[in-house]
Amino acid sequence: MGAEKNTAWRIGAFWRRYDIALLGGAIFAFILLITILASVVAPYDPMARNIRNLFATPSAENPFGTDQLGRDVLSRVIHGGRPILSASFTAVFSALAVGTTVGVAGGYVGGWLDTALMRLMDVMLSFPSILLAILIVATLGVGLLNVTVAIGFAMVPVFARLARSIVITLVYEEYVAAARSLGASDLHIIWKHILPNMMPPIIVQASAMLAVAIGTASALNFIGLGVEPGTPDWGMMVAEGQRLIFDAPHVPVFPGLVITITVLSVNYMGDGLRDHLDPKLRRQGI
């Protein structure tokens, strides 16, 4: 009985400390699950038109109403998360892998390699990320794949700078010096000692950049650089419905609201990860 009370107390304390983060994580997990199961949970075909039911207001039959072509807005919102979330996850994972590799190489090797890599990162950071992404998409051409490449490329310097700053401190730790004195190779030291200890802040940064990626992907699709017109996509739906904001506000408002909720939930989840994984914040009880 005492063990059960102790467990309940720990769960309650954990919830009180990370309530907003847990709520954000639950909301994002729900959105992610609904998006993955879109073909199953969507009540209608997102591309099906019904000219007899144009601009229908929200009702039991169409909870989010219908758009200018009679398409069910709820079904399009459910399917509309697929291109944005898939592009965002892919971009962040790619940027994390490339940026961490660049940062570790520069911070561990040092010298001219570090100088050359960091100057290149400085040049990339000199451009606002959204403008750099637009420039890349304009160069490569319109398309969701190019949007993913552009967002990932623009985020590489963020991870590279963070990884380098962590490696510079870890490389002088006693356990790294001990491994080197025992004859461990540089690759072994990086893989076994440096990477595991730098993962918590990298993961926290990745959660923050995921929110940025979702917003950037939505913006690029909004201005027509991503998916093709008519494709279910949150950004494209807002763009198609912006001229209807006074006549049929439900058309752009619902996808815009979902974008906002998704970004906020990821941000709150990232804040919770930061508080939990940062040992300084844990000791201070922040």
Least confident of 6-20, 87-101, 128-142, 149-163: 6-20
- Distances from the Cα of 175 to the Cαs of 41, 110, 181, 197, 278, in angstroms? 52, 19, 10, 11, 20
**pTM over 0.85, yes/no:** yes
DSSP state of 72: B
Q: Which domains does the chain have, with CATH numbers?
A: 73-284 (1.10.3720.10)
d(CA 124, CA 143): 22
Residue 174 has pLDDT above 60, yes or no: yes
Per-residue model confidence (pLDDT) at position 284: 47
C-alpha closest to that of 269 among 30, 24, 26: 24
pLDDT tens digits, residue range 109-144?
A: 888 999 999 999 999 888 888 888 888 888 888 888
Per-residue model confidence (pLDDT) at position 137: 87
Least confident of 113-117, 178-182, 232-236: 178-182
pLDDT tens digits, residue range 25-45?
A: 999 999 999 999 999 999 999
| Residue/partner pairs of 196-199 with CB below 8 Å, 24 or more apart | 197/166, 197/170, 198/100, 198/104, 198/163, 198/166, 198/167, 198/170
Please say whether the beta carbons of 75 and 46 come within 8 A: yes
Please say whether the beta carbons of 182 and 124 come within 8 A: no
Task: Indicate the pLDDT class of residue 214, thresholds 50, 70 and 90.
Answer: very high
52: helix, coil or strand? coil
Please say whether the beta carbons of 100 and 159 come within 8 A: yes
